[in-house]
């Protein structure tokens, strides 16, 4: 995949966060799936501009609220932005699928690291 760097970025985001890794991994996974799907759907039927982008971000927020995804909205917005606004040489559904797979790989690595390399509890 041409944007393989999203996998290690996702790993780092989860490992260096103060939020529980499992909680953050779930938020990132679900949010990326929602944003990538919505971004590909919008890019397939509309030419990206500020109105289309704004509507997409709004829909991400509405769907996140309806589905009770909480903080996953942030990751949905990021994925939608990457799929919809960055110029790619591949069709939107390929870009969205790659984005989702790259982030999912990073999440899996982060969760594996947290299981294998347990840190002692924070004394504070």
Name the residue among 80, 44, 45 with its Cα closest to residue 60: 80
Mean pLDDT, to the nearest integer, of 65-92?
93
Give the pLDDT confidence of 36-50 residue by residue, as tens digits: 999 999 999 999 999
What percent of the chain is predicted at pLDDT more than 90? 69
Backbone angles phi, psi at 16, to 5 degrees: -95, 5
* Residue 123 predicted with pLDDT over 70: no
Give the pLDDT band (50/70/90) at residue 120. low
Burial classification of residue 89, based on how many CB atoms lie within 10 Å of its CB (0-12 exposed, 13-18 middle, 19 or more buried): exposed
DSSP 68: T
């Amino acid at each position: 995949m041409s944007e393989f760097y999203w996998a290690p970025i996702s790993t780092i985001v989860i490992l260096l966060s103060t939020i529980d890794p499992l909680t953050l991994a779930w938020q990132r996974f679900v949010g990326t799936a929602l944003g990538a799907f919505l971004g590909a759907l919008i890019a397939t039927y509309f030419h990206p501009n500020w109105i289309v982008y704004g509507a997409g971000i709004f829909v991400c927020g509405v769907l996140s609220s309806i589905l009770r995804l909480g903080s996953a909205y942030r990751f949905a917005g990021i994925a939608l932005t990457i799929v919809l606004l960055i110029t790619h040489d591949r069709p939107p559904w390929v870009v969205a699928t790659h984005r989702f797979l790259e982030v999912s790989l990073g999440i899996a690595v982060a969760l594996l690291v947290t299981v294998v390399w347990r840190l002692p509890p924070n004394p504070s």
